[in-house]
Amino acid sequence: MSHRTVKFYQTGTFTVGNRLLPEEDRAVQSGVGRANSLTSGHRACQGCGEALGARCVLDAAMRAAEGNVIVANATGCLEVFSTPYPESSWRVPWIHSLFGNAPSVATGIAAALRAKGRSGVRVIAQGGDGGTTDIGMGCLSGMFERNDDVLYICYDNEAYMNTGVQRSSATPAGARTATTPPVGEHPGHEFGRGKSVPLIAMAHSIPYVATASVAELRDLEYKVTRAMGICGARYIQVHVPCPLGWGSKPQDTIRIARLAIETGLFPLFEAENGKIVERHRIRSPKPVTDYLTQQKRFSHLFNESGSYAVAAIQEIADRNIRDFDLCENICDDHSRLR
């Protein structure tokens, strides 16, 4: 990563330490001047990765644009838990139109700002994985292709959580959802070919694409800040665990997000103009079982008939490590992990 990764070996935790750092290295979230774009009192579940991600993304964006940000939100958990009538948790100008049109609404906002000569105001569109990788895909691709001046954030919790945990095209193979129940020989969500929207975004050669995680908040803030410094279409996919849908403990959200990175299942990288320029290296990849066993959505895999599925998921992680060149050391022999 091109910014300084902070590791707190002194305490063994990742939560302390801003006060140990020089001012310029401290997180946006640690500053008294943070915008609190998504302020307290909203109705997200305990341990919601999306709420945490959205707050960090928007506060970083607000700092980068000196408060001149307009947000278009797709329908989904984030929209529902933040604006139940007659309340709103947003302290930014915010519009929710439909499930599948947030990229186009953002394009319209950007066009209006251009027509009105307000070049200082920046536009962010955001949605969950359902609103992004499924129903919003057409509008998203159009926004990329035209290189509209919009930063799109996808909060990826790997299923339709707001409607009761149904499968999306971002759901990982093997996961139990309400529409992919593990019955008989069926392993939960089928092993298809998957869909990487970051790679699809890169195929549009847009100026900036990144993946990020709530486990690495400084990295997330850094990538948002970078993206805000660039004009044109930009895309960041943020991995946000969902305790409700994943069947994990609320206090484990960050731990599980980190395991997704450390196993290679969620590679962190940055790409410019369609080429990967930075990746988050893994010192010593962890076996995927470390990640899977923390979540009830994979619990059915840990019996005799599910072992092939665990092996197949390990292969996906190994392929990611190879394809995205994630390994810090030379680790040719991945079999030792199993």
Partner 1 sequence: MLRQLETSRSIAEAVALCRPEVVCAYPITPQTHIVEGLAEFVREGRLRPCEFLNVESEFAALSVAIGASATGARAYTATASQGLLFMAEAVYNASGLGFPIVMTIGNRAIGAPINIWNDHSDSMALRDAGWMQLFASTAQEAADLHIVAFRLAEELSCPVMVCVDGFVLTHSYEAVDLPVQEQVDAFLPRYEPRQVLDPAIPVSVGAMVGPEAFTEVRYLAHQKQLRALDLLPELSRDFANIFSRPCGALISPYRTDGANTIVVALGSVNGTIQDVVDEMREAGRSIGSISVGCYRPFPMCAVAEATAQASRIVVIDRSLAPGMGGILAADVHMATQSNPVRIFSVIAGLGGRPITRSSLRRVFETAMDDALGQLTFLDLQTELIERHLERERKMWNTGPAAENILYDIQRIAAEIG
Q: At which residue do the structure tokens 């070919």 appear?
A: 193
**Which part of the chain contacts partner 1 (CB under 8 A), choosing from 103-111, 153-161, 296-304, 308-316?**
103-111
Which of residues 105, 161, 309, 316 is near partner 1 by CB under 8 A?
105
101 binds partner 1 (CB under 8 A): yes
**Which part of the chain contacts partner 1 (CB under 8 A), choosing from 11-19, 72-80, 186-194, 241-249?**
72-80
336 binds partner 1 (CB under 8 A): no
Provide the token pair at 11: 């305490």
Phi, psi (rounded to 5 degrees) for 323: -65, -40
Q: Between the CA of residue 112 and those of 116, 126, 189, 212, 234, what are the distances in Å?
A: 6, 19, 42, 30, 19
Q: Between the CA of residue 149 and those of 127, 200, 301, what are the distances in Å?
A: 17, 18, 43
Site for partner 1 in 127-166 (CB under 8 A): 138-139, 141-142, 145-146
How far apart (Å, rounded) are the C-alpha atoms in residues 319 and 258?
Answer: 18
41 binds partner 1 (CB under 8 A): no
Which of residues 1, 98, 199, 331 is near partner 1 by CB under 8 A?
98
45 binds partner 1 (CB under 8 A): no
173 binds partner 1 (CB under 8 A): no
Q: Which helix (H) or strand (E) holds 73?
A: strand 69-73
248 binds partner 1 (CB under 8 A): no
Which residues are paired to 270 by β-bridges? 210, 278
33 binds partner 1 (CB under 8 A): no
How far apart (Å, rounded) are the C-alpha atoms in residues 285 and 55?
Answer: 29
94 binds partner 1 (CB under 8 A): yes
Contacts to partner 1 by CB under 8 A:
67-70, 72-73, 79-80, 83-88, 90-98, 100-101, 104-117, 121, 138-139, 141-142, 145-146
